[in-house]
Amino acid sequence: MSQLRYSKDHEYVRLEGEVGVIGISDHAQSQLGDVVFVELPKVGTQLVQGGEAAVVESVKAASEVYAPVSGEVVAVNDGLEGQPSLINEDATGKGWIFRVKLAAPAELDALMDEAAYQEFLKSEA
C-alpha cells in the first residue's frame, strides 16, 4: 500500500513523521520528458497549499511545481542540481524535490491516494 498522496496538479507528498517529502508523480515526469533543470525552493520558505514552490524544466517545457500541502521548506534535494534526470529515473524516490514541515496535516485529507489518483488519470485521458 502506497503512502503517497497526490494533488490534481500531479505532485505527491509522502509523510515521514511531521515532514512531507514532495515531488512530481511518475505520470507527470513521463509527460514532461527528459528533465534538464530543477529550480529548487529555498530552505525556510513558507509554502501555502496550491502555491508555486519550484520549477521543473524538461526538453519539452517548463512546469511549475505546486505545494500539495502548506508548511516550511526544511530540505531540498541538492542532488537534482547536478543530476535533474533523477526525477525521470525515480520520481517518487531519489527524484524527490523538497521536504516540508507540515503546517496543517489535515490538508492531506484533501489529496488523493494511489487508487483515486489512478482513476483521476483515466478521467484526464
Q: Which CATH number characterizes residue 112's domain?
A: 2.40.50.100
| Closest C-alpha among 94, 114, 120, 99 to residue 42 | 99
Per-residue pLDDT tens digits of the chain, which is 125 residues long: 358 999 999 999 999 999 999 999 999 999 999 999 999 999 999 999 999 999 999 999 999 999 999 999 999 999 999 999 999 999 999 999 999 999 999 999 999 999 999 999 999 87
Q: How far apart are CA 89 and CA 93, in angstroms?
A: 9
For residue 81, the enclosing domain spans 4-124
Domains identified in the chain, total number: 1
What amino acid occupies position 56? V
